[in-house]
Amino acid sequence: MKEANEPADVQQFAELYLLNMQRLQARDWYMFPETWLSELHARFLEHLTLFFVYEGQRLVAGGSVFHMNGLVGNFLSATAEDCGQFSPNNLLFYEIIRWAKRRGYRWYNMGGGYRNNDGVMRFKLNFSQHTEDFHTYQKVHLPQAYEALVQEWRQALSATIEMEDSKYFPLYRMSRQ
């Protein structure tokens, strides 16, 4: 495993990440372009670190974390398709934890899962059973623009979804499923 924060590393991670999201059939929202990832890493270079796991010379997993004020937080991760029995994510998360401890970070927020008790959450609970509630603040800064996006999305959604009763925020990102 190695830290990988050069522009070429970000490009390599972006390629791995996109292939991973396509394989998982992720929604378009998760298909971040390489230019966006490169700009993000350049802007937050002191607080955003990439890590790579190799099997020989082949990149098999990568992850990025934000870090500051005693906290490390997962951002994005990706795994190559055919890793066999190697389980590179186990090594990736383990080494990020060791990296954080060596630098004096106190907390590592691995994030949750996609849904309650899904495979992602079960994987993360293998590292620690300690969980915390996670809260976000919801604020619409441009109400007219937000309402226009909601109206456009409402027209695209199936009539079976009851948006008015939903606590989903922002509504225009609600899944069609």
Domain annotation covers residue 54? yes
Structure confidence by residue, pLDDT tens digits, 72-114: 999 999 999 887 677 898 899 999 999 999 999 998 887 766 6
Q: Are 40 and 46 in contact (CB under 8 A)?
A: no
On whether both 106 and 151 belong to a single domain, the answer is no
Domain annotation covers residue 23? yes
Residue 96 backbone dihedrals phi, psi, to 5 degrees: -65, -40
* Whole-prediction pTM: 0.74
Of all residues in the chain, what percent carry a pLDDT higher than 70? 86
Domain annotation covers residue 137? no
pLDDT of residue 34: 92
The Cβ of residue 108 has, within 10 Å, a number of other Cβ atoms equal to 19
Question: In 33-136, which residue ranges form alpha helices assigned H by DSSP?
Answer: 34-43, 88-102, 119-125
